Structure 1
Amino acid sequence: MKYKLIALDVDGTLLNDDHQLSEENMQAIAEVTRLGGRIVLCTGRSPQNSIPFMQEMGLSGYVLGHNGAATVRVENREVLHQYGLDARGLDPYIEYCRERGMHFDINTAFDMYVDNVENLSKEANHMYENFQVVPASLPAWEDFREPIVKFTVFSKPDILDEAEREWGTWTQQYNILRSGEFFIDFMNPEASKGNALKNLAADLGVPREEVLSIGNYFNDISMLTYAGLGVAMENSPVEVKAAADVITGTNNEHGVRDALVKYCLS
């Protein structure tokens, strides 16, 4: 099998629109693993709510969470590497969000914090239920004991579009990525899925040309361009498809299965 390390995005790629893992994708992943391939999840999610998918697939290994800001070993949840960010530099972005009623959360490798957990909107509660996350209320910066790895803003797409334009005029000290239609993520400038995948491949002794990645959104571009073969989902924006080497089917039609069968199992 040519590709020894296979990195899969989760939402919009591995999972369908109902956040379910299909039997077709699971069977293809099991066969790739049987033949010696290593499957890793490379996701904007926390390791906390992505490791369960590895366990559902019967896999050990690694999760590259928070868009590559935290690399975690599945078996013991050890944080192998993380890119912390400057928390106090987030203050003007937090003020911008509060003034406009835009929801945000603050993430360490495993924990998530929101402005006031008692006053979450119906939309935010629904979102966290879908992603199987239970946030806590935000403490003061000086009370954090773990590095902050990601700041996420959740709002309607047109409101996020306006915020992106405004923040683009500010002095940049973060990697700011649109990680979904309703999400903007802030990370350390060095944090990306591509960098995390590159570092893991080096640690495992897997050359770049033996790495395959599959993704569907703007936060996946760095890993699609790093991999020896970058595969975009059919449900990807046109810019993501342009960054990939090949296109597979949609996340609702087992596009991951199709790509694994074509490029790993044929």
Structure 2
Amino acid sequence: MAYKLVALDVDGTLLNDEHEITEVTRNTVMEAARQGIEIVLCTGRGPLNSIPFMESMGLGGYVISHNGAATVEVETKRIVHQFGMEQAELDPFMAYCRERGVHFDINTAFEMYVDNVEELAGPVRHMYENYLMMPSNLPAWEELPDPVVKFTAFGEPGDMDAVLKDWSTWTMTLNMLRSGEYFIDLMHAEASKGNALKQLAAKRGYRQDEVLAIGNYYNDITMLTFAGMGIAMDNSPVEVKAAANAVTASNNEDGVHEALVKYCLS
């Protein structure tokens, strides 16, 4: 099958554990693009800290950011589509986090906000530095310039397990995802990587069976199951591997390179 659109998750997939794209993976992604395959990053990150990876490979096109809540054009930074949330939907989650000392951030398509940026320290500050994004202080809701597309809670895995257990008992109107060991994301009910990839494929004129997707975590399952070929990284949880059509090497063993060579460049 000739795949025409390749969707790549970023952390744990395109990047190794040093948060880098290896030279061999970079060259293979660029070769796929040279052969006419459209590359799209499909990530929980925002556009500001995902677009630079596209630019570093000389690629244009689109990034699907915030787990599918905002799709952005690389060259113009134009928002193609976004799913916004209302304050009333997030108020209970913000109250829960503030009462229990759980760190959270609020994201519009291009901005990130926290309660008190001056007090960021330790693992929380290190996390933002690793992900190349420093937040601003959260203003009053009515002063936010753009719709809120993602709410993220951050903490140690055991703490996030407890938060997820609590929130799973609530009546849920939002899409709640464990997007990493340390993260729980809340988005609009219709926002997912799979839905955003489906919309982009239709916009670009690609059939479902012409789409290949590679990912490694629970927030990737919807895009892996939408794609004609869904490939899980070897560092994926067993549930993610079960949702995929195939498994490639880990992110520390150039799994993206291996998959593209096998399914797109051979």
TM-score, with length taken from structure 2: 0.99
* Structure 1 residue 27, shift from structure 2 partner: 0.9
* Structure 1 residue 229, shift from structure 2 partner: 0.1
Q: Contact 1:15 / 1:22 at 8 angstroms: preserved in 2? A: yes
Does structure 1 residue 157 correspond to structure 2 residue 157? Answer: yes
Counterpart in the other structure of 2:192: 192
* Structure 1 residue 231, shift from structure 2 partner: 0.2
For 2:187 and 2:238, the matched residues in 1 are separated by 24
Alignment of 1:49-68 (within 5 A): 49-68=49-68
Letter in 2 for 1:40: V
Letter in 2 for 1:97: C
For 1:52 and 1:30, the matched residues in 2 are separated by 14
Letter in 2 for 1:13: T
* Structure 1 residue 24, shift from structure 2 partner: 0.7
CA RMSD of aligned residues (A): 0.8
Letter in 1 for 2:220: D
Letter in 1 for 2:169: T
Alignment of 1:170-249 (within 5 A): 170-249=170-249
CA deviations on 1:186-236 (whole Å, 9 max, x unpaired) are: 000000000000000000000000000000000000000000000000000
* Structure 1 residue 133, shift from structure 2 partner: 0.4
Letter in 2 for 1:4: K
* Structure 1 residue 121, shift from structure 2 partner: 2.8
Alignment of 1:1-266 (within 5 A): 2-266=2-266
- What fraction of aligned residue pairs are identical, expressed as a percent? 62
Q: Contact 1:6 / 1:212 at 8 angstroms: preserved in 2? A: yes
Q: Contact 1:85 / 1:188 at 8 angstroms: preserved in 2? A: yes
Query: Which ranges in structure 1 are unaligned for 5 or more consecutive residues?
Result: none
Aligned length: 266
Letter in 2 for 1:225: T
Q: Contact 1:88 / 1:141 at 8 angstroms: preserved in 2? A: no
CA deviations on 1:73-95 (whole Å, 9 max, x unpaired) are: 00010001000012222111111
User: SS in structure 1 opposite 2:166?
Assistant: helix
Runs of 4+, deviation exceeding 2 Å: none
User: SS in structure 2 opposite 1:123?
Assistant: helix
Query: Which ranges in structure 2 are unaligned for 5 or more consecutive residues?
Result: none
TM-score, with length taken from structure 1: 0.99
Q: Which moved more, 1:200-209 or 1:86-95?
A: 86-95
CA deviations on 1:40-65 (whole Å, 9 max, x unpaired) are: 00000000100000000110000000
User: SS in structure 2 opposite 1:55?
Assistant: helix
For 2:13 and 2:179, the matched residues in 1 are separated by 13
User: SS in structure 1 opposite 2:2?
Assistant: coil
Q: Contact 1:7 / 1:42 at 8 angstroms: preserved in 2? A: yes
For 2:86 and 2:225, the matched residues in 1 are separated by 27
Q: Contact 1:214 / 1:233 at 8 angstroms: preserved in 2? A: yes
* Structure 1 residue 171, shift from structure 2 partner: 1.1
Q: Which moved more, 1:48-57 or 1:26-35?
A: 26-35
